[in-house]
Amino acid sequence: MVSSALSRLSNINRHLKPTVSHSCDSDGATGTPVKISPEVSNALSCGRAVVALESTIISHGMPYPRNLETAKEVEAIVRTNGAVPATVAILDGIPCIGLSIEQLERLASLGTKAQKAARRDIAHIVATRGNGATTVSATMFFASMVGIPVFVTGGIGGVHRHGENTMDISSDLTELGRTPVAVISAGVKSILDIPRTLEYLETQGVCVAAYKTNEFPAFFTEKSGSKVHCRVDTPEDCAQLIDANIKLKLGTGILIAVPIPKEHAASGSLIESAIQLALKEARDKNIIGNAETPFLLARVSELTGGASLASNIALVKNNAAIGAKISVALAQLRESCNTGDAQSVS
């Protein structure tokens, strides 16, 4: 047990460094890079399972108050499955890892008034004491900073359709190529170019695994027509994969793609026709950059009579349940390794 105890002390020391505060409720001290909630800090120090959650889905993903209800439900699902949720956001210039109910309500009320924050936006939002809702890339960055290895989202960004001409490629992909966090998602949003996205991830050296399938899911639907080279069938399989990636110090993230549950999958043809129309409207209105995805998702929801939004919420909840189980399996794997090391020493 000596090794296990030393590991715990190391974790506690890391989370008690003066550069890191443990509450998001105070105004904060000058020079504090991030603030970790007491619940998340305690879980990390004790080696318990923690799941990072993004906040863009709250501010930009759906209207109030449905966004707040969904955020609370997703956090509850993570807890029910044995892990601690750590929703990430920047509030008044302070990156917060783990939000209180009051902070979730504030972020939901702010909606699109909160800036959509990718990695490139972090320094500016902090410097100007602004409010930022973190995307996949920013959430991965903060999760890695404090030692959270598992992150759950709906779908990641990717190479936009016609990206070979526009060079519009989400920073989510480059983040996966340089930040060792496992991202649990329903694949790539089907408004994007899925084959080119997978090619780009291969170039970045990112392991892409599909959960209980050999085919990469297409966000709203179970199948995209693109195969993957890595299949995982249980949370324990995922934990072994994540643990190996970290121990080998590959320095890259892992994308674990979970198909939307069959009962919630919308008609693929209905979604695709709505996407094509929304893409045309976006081009006609010259909506580009990080404004394009929110526009497309909102427009597709309108065109499908809300079917895509219902599917979106269902897949996020499903991802949260599976992500929590993966995080628990990873925590148990690490605990067993620590115990085994201690026994071998004694």
Active site residues: 54, 189
How far apart (Å, rounded) are the C-alpha atoms in residues 317 and 301?
A: 18
CA 203 to chain centre: 21
Return the structure tokens found at 49: 């399972």
How far apart (Å, rounded) are the C-alpha atoms in residues 102 and 82?
A: 23
For residue 234, the 8-state DSSP code is: S
Q: Are 45 and 12 in contact (CB under 8 A)?
A: yes
34-36/94-97 β-pairing: parallel
How far apart (Å, rounded) are the C-alpha atoms in residues 276 and 225?
A: 18
How far apart (Å, rounded) are the C-alpha atoms in residues 299 and 280?
A: 11
Q: Is the dihedral of CA 187, 193, 196, 197 positive or negative?
A: negative
How far apart (Å, rounded) are the C-alpha atoms in residues 324 and 259?
A: 16
What spatial distance separates the first Cα and last Cα of the chain, rounded to whole Å? 9
94-97/84-91 β-pairing: antiparallel
Place of tokens 């929110």: 294
How far apart (Å, rounded) are the C-alpha atoms in residues 84 and 80?
A: 9
E strand or H helix that includes residue 325: helix 307-345
Q: Are 231 and 241 in contact (CB under 8 A)?
A: no
